[in-house]
C-alpha cells in the first residue's frame, strides 16, 4: 500500500521529466552504503546501525517507550548528506525511493512476519528517509498525511 499527499503527487509528476543520468555521477561506494545499511535489533525495534549496538541499548527506557517514535527518529537518514558531491533534489528523491525498496527487502528478510512503513519526506533542502515497524493497534506515525506541509511518500511493506 502506498500513500502520498497532494504535494508529493506533484513532485512525482515532475520526476517523470527528470534526466536520470545525473544519478550516475555519484560514487558507487556512497550509493551502496545508502542502499544497504547495517541494521541492528534493539529489543523489539530495528535501527540503522550508526554506532555500536551497546550505544543504542544504553538509551533510557523512556527513549524506547514509544517504539514507533523511537524507530522513526533513530532511522532518519538525509539522502543529500550521504554523498560527498552535491546532488539535486530530484536525484535525491529517485535514489531515496530506491533505498526504501532496498531497506524494505532487508527488513523483511530480518523479520518476515513484520510489516514496515517506509517513509520519504521532501523539504527545500533535504530528502529524508525513515521507517518504523507497524505494530498491533498502531498505524503510520503521523496518521493522515494530507495534513503534512511537505511532500511525503509512505509505503507499507507487508
**Residue 141 — pLDDT band, cuts 50, 70, 90?**
confident
pLDDT in tens, 108-126: 999 999 999 999 999 888 8
| C-beta neighbour count of 85 within 10 angstroms | 8
Average pLDDT, the chain: 84
Nearest-angstrom CA–CA distance, 30 and 27: 5
HEC assignment per residue over 113-148: CCEEEEEEEECCCCEEEEEEEECCCCCCCCCCCCCC
pLDDT of residue 56: 56
* pLDDT for the residue 63: 57
Identify the residue with better confidence: 59 or 32. 32
pLDDT bin (cut points 50, 70, 90) of residue 19 is low
pLDDT class of 20 with cuts at 50, 70, 90? low
Angle between helices 6-15 and 89-110 (to 10 degrees): 110
Domain boundaries, given as residue ranges, for the chain: 2-157
Amino acid at each position: 500500500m502506498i500513500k502520498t499527499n497532494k504535494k508529493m503527487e506533484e513532485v512525482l509528476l515532475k520526476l517523470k521529466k527528470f534526466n536520470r543520468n545525473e544519478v550516475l555521477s555519484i560514487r558507487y561506494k556512497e550509493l551502496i552504503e545508502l542502499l544497504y545499511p547495517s541494521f541492528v535489533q534493539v529489543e523489539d525495534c530495528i535501527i540503522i546501525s550508526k554506532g555500536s549496538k551497546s550505544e543504542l541499548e544504553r538509551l533510557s527506557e523512556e527513549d524506547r517507550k514509544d517504539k514507533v517514535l523511537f524507530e522513526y527518529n533513530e532511522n532518519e537518514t538525509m539522502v543529500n548528506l550521504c554523498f560527498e558531491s552535491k546532488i539535486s533534489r530530484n536525484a535525491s528523491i529517485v535514489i531515496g525511493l530506491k533505498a526504501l525498496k532496498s531497506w524494505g527487502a532487508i527488513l523483511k528478510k530480518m523479520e518476515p512476519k513484520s510489516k514496515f512503513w517506509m517513509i520519504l519526506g521532501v523539504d527545500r533542502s533535504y530528502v529524508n528517509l525513515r521507517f518504523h515497524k507497524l505494530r498491533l493497534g498502531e498505524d503510520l506515525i503521523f496518521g493522515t498525511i494530507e495534513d503534512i506541509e511537505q511532500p511525503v511518500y509512505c509505503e507499507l511493506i507487508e
